[in-house]
Amino acid sequence: MRHTMPSEAQTALTSSSLGTLLDQIENIQGKIGLGFGKSAIEILYLLDQADERLKKIQENGMPLSSEEAQYSSIIELFRRQTAQLIHEAGGISVIERARAAENPPEENWWWWPERIVSQKRSDALKKAAKTGAIVFVVLLIVIILYQVFLKPDPKVMAAQEAVQSAEQTAGDGDLQ
């Protein structure tokens, strides 16, 4: 006869293993950028496991506020470290081979880190274009305001040029 574990006890074990799994992911993430290499790709597999366990626990209706917060933190750090993760994993070709072998569902977006990098580049380009457009508009407004309101009268400009010319001539020693 097979003995089944009560749902709460089973969830507690799963929650504990989820915490351990999340700690393991954080440990690997902490090494990204330090040149520890191929272990970076393990994050993709571990995220699959963590996501699956998190969903199972949530289905049982058990509260997981600390694990959910830790998972969110891991995801945010993953998004920031994506380019470094690709580099340390050995390049996108290594990730593509692992992805082909694993065949993850589209909802496991972390298997497509090149999309994240591409989106970051696109966002940075849009931000730079927007900033450039704002600077251009501000300069244009300043020029228009100067031309309309602050530009000196041509007579004043001519008088100022005559004074400067006379001062230059006097400075050269030609007092006549």
pLDDT tens track for 118-164: 999 999 999 999 999 999 999 999 999 888 888 878 888 888 888 89
In tens, the pLDDT along 107-125 reads 999 999 999 999 999 999 9
Neighbour count for residue 152 (Cβ, 10 Å): 10
Nearest to 113 by CA among 158, 78, 142: 78
Does the pLDDT of residue 97 top 70, yes or no? yes
Q: Distances in Å between the alpha carbon of 95 and those of 22, 101, 169?
A: 21, 10, 75
User: What is the pTM for the complete model shown?
Assistant: 0.65
Does the pLDDT of residue 31 top 90, yes or no? no
